[in-house]
Amino acid sequence: MGTSKRNTTSAAPKALSAKDVAAFLDYGYVPFRKAQCVGRIFIVLLSGTGLCLIRERSLLWAVPVGLLCLLITAAFIVLMVRFGSLRISRYLCDGTFWLYIAVVMNLGAYRCTVLQAGSSVLRLIAMMGLLLIWAAAFAAITVSWIRAGKFSNTNPSKPNFWLPGLCGVVGMGLARVFLQGRSQQTVFAVITVGLLILSLVMGMTGSFLLKAWFCAKHMDE
């Protein structure tokens, strides 16, 4: 009995320490900048507009996407006006923005499939579900990294999440060049896969929302 109890105790996951959480919050931290937030508002509005322009114009897309863009815009304005001096603003701004971009790319991939195979609610649910499952899985992986102390590096490299997006744009441009003469179906298949992969890559940045949660829970800011 005693041995079994000791084995159960040793198998229990290590609790998150305040030191590990603080290291995670400090890892790659960049102070919140209102100018950057304003720029992201424009990107949110432009990307939402571009998403609605794929295929035919439809209120079924324009209304929810428009409401989402307005909601994010309002949230960013509140962050700038009321909470710009708080550290959590950085995490909320980053997490919301990049998760939105991931959703837009995922929906863009779906819209490309609609051009070839028609609308399908099940396909839309499956693609969005894949993104949400991956984001949740990466959040769980991040928690395990925090527990293992992997964010305690004193000189972390500055993260640059524009790089995947830039590579995606360049990749789409190269695909357009090298796929000239190919069937339209092949071109759309490549674009769809590319957008879906980029969506999953951007989904990893949901860890910023995890930072916001830890910041609200453990920090007195």
Q: Is the pLDDT assigned to residue 198 strictly greater than 70?
A: yes
pLDDT of residue 172: 55
pLDDT of residue 193: 83
pLDDT of residue 53: 77
pLDDT of residue 154: 52
Q: Domain for residue 124, yes or no?
A: yes
Q: Is the pLDDT assigned to residue 148 strictly greater than 80?
A: yes
Mean pLDDT, the chain, integer: 78
Q: Domain for residue 24, yes or no?
A: no
Q: Is the pLDDT assigned to residue 136 strictly greater than 80?
A: yes
- Give the residue-averaged pLDDT of 132-140: 90
Q: Domain for residue 8, yes or no?
A: no
Q: Domain for residue 131, yes or no?
A: yes
Q: Domain for residue 185, yes or no?
A: yes
- Could you give the CA distance from residue 137 to residue 146 in angstroms, rounded to a whole number? 14
Number of domains in the chain: 1
Instruction: Yes or no: say if 199 and 131 are a contact pair by the CB < 8 Å rule.
Output: yes
Of the pLDDT bands very low, low, confident and very high (cuts 50, 70, 90), residue 174 is low
Q: Domain for residue 99, yes or no?
A: yes
pTM value surpassing 0.85: no
Instruction: Yes or no: say if 151 and 145 are a contact pair by the CB < 8 Å rule.
Output: yes
- Give the residue-averaged pLDDT of 89-96: 90
Q: Domain for residue 2, yes or no?
A: no
Tokens read off for 168: 């995606």
* Domain that residue 39 falls in: 32-151+160-218
